[in-house]
Amino acid sequence: MAHVGRPFTDYKPPAAAPVWAVIEGLGRYHVLLAALELGVFEALDEAPDGTGVTAVELAGRLELPELHLESLLDSVVALGLLDRVVDDFKLNDAARRYLLVDGAASMAGLIPVAPGPHENWTRLADTVRSGRPATPIDDDPAAFYVPLVEGTFTTMWRCAGRADLKMRYSAMAAPRILDLGAGGAPWSIAMLQSCADGRATVNDLDGVIDVARRQTAEHGVADRCEFRPGDFHTVPLEDGAYDIVVLGHVCRTEGLDGARHLVERAYSALRPEGRLVVADYFIGPNHKTNPHAVLMGMTMMASTACGFGVTTTEAAGWLGDAGFEALRLIEPIGFQFAYVASKPRDPRSDGSSKRAK
């Protein structure tokens, strides 16, 4: 207890731990990046099952100075992403699952690109002052999105596959799917794999859509895809043609008007009773309860021309205003959320589909 005030009161000042956690944040990220770049996790994976590797052995194998490598390995242990038993370093379950290149839910490719261009973070105060990042990813979207969608594919495909448990797309006969800003097309692939007669129209920008071409081919569904490159705000879309439209993690870069426009385009493209999937990291009414979504919104602000976090209120507003009904927020896998909403059986004739043109 610190004694402060007159007369003394027992007042314990707040701990500095949250400030230190922030200061260490930069180092934590770079420790993990360096370990990935140096191939530490793959090298440890080569050890026979259950055995560890000393820093000296690993340094020899990777041709690195022992002390520097040991310091890095100990830091990864401090992050909880490796185990150290006496002098032996070992992969733990989290490292096996997320950090090996072919781990079951590998994030190895995602980690370097997920925060956006790193230099934008060092200029964040300028971005807040000027209202625009110095080097928005919009200036060269393919350079940023190709590695990003390669890195997120495994997680999003797992999410899209599990979404079937909540929305039963597998029960649909020959659904027509429209996937706008599809990336590697994880949603189209999961849906087509469950619906033998389904077909998908897969959209993304020139230069990124080749990732979808490759992934759909590798997953054996490319022959049921039509690839439609172009800007999802302007690429021609058929009216009333689709059973499912997917907007997977695309709204948060588009700003409020852009996101509304995409939802309205989706409404026009759906047949009556068709469903829209809007996946994103939504910020709930209490911003403190989902810091991941809040910080994802900040990542958008730091690196895109129009992007911000998306709140549940905003997303539900776009859907309701466009004419959707029966809104549901699902969480197919941990921390991955999606709204699923239906176009009414008798869509109103007045508004949204005209606005979307």
Ligand X SMILES: C[S@@+](CC[C@H](N)C(=O)[O-])C[C@H]1O[C@@H](n2cnc3c(N)ncnc32)[C@H](O)[C@@H]1O
* Residues in contact with ligand X by the rule CB under 6 A: 141, 145, 149, 152, 156, 181-183, 186, 203-205, 208, 231-233, 248-250, 279
The answer for residues whose C-beta is within 8 angstroms of residue 197's C-beta and 6 or more apart is 173, 174
CB of 2 to ligand X, least distance (A): 48
In the complex with ligand X, the residue whose CB is nearer, 44 or 222, is 222
- Distance (Å) of CA 31 to CA 42, 75, 209, 317: 16, 7, 33, 41
In the complex with ligand X, the residue whose CB is nearer, 99 or 146, is 146
What one-letter code names the amino acid at 24?
E
Q: What token pair was written down for 67?
A: 């002390």
CB of 77 to ligand X, least distance (A): 32
In the complex with ligand X, the residue whose CB is nearer, 39 or 112, is 112
In the complex with ligand X, the residue whose CB is nearer, 23 or 217, is 217
Question: How far apart (Å, rounded) are the C-alpha atoms in residues 347 and 272?
Answer: 7
CB of 72 to ligand X, least distance (A): 30
| Contact call for residues 87 and 54 (beta carbons, < 8 A) | yes
In the complex with ligand X, the residue whose CB is nearer, 52 or 175, is 175
Question: How far apart (Å, rounded) are the C-alpha atoms in residues 266 and 244?
Answer: 9
Cα 50–Cα 56–Cα 58 angle in degrees, nearest 5: 55
Question: How far apart (Å, rounded) are the C-alpha atoms in residues 145 and 333?
Answer: 23
In the complex with ligand X, the residue whose CB is nearer, 64 or 142, is 142
What one-letter code names the amino acid at 8?
F
Locate all alpha helices (DSSP H) within 89-137, ordered by sequence.
Answer: 93-98, 118-121, 124-130
CB of 250 to ligand X, least distance (A): 5
CB of 126 to ligand X, least distance (A): 24
Report which of 244, 187, 249, 246 is spatially closest to residue 221, judged by C-alpha positions. Answer: 187
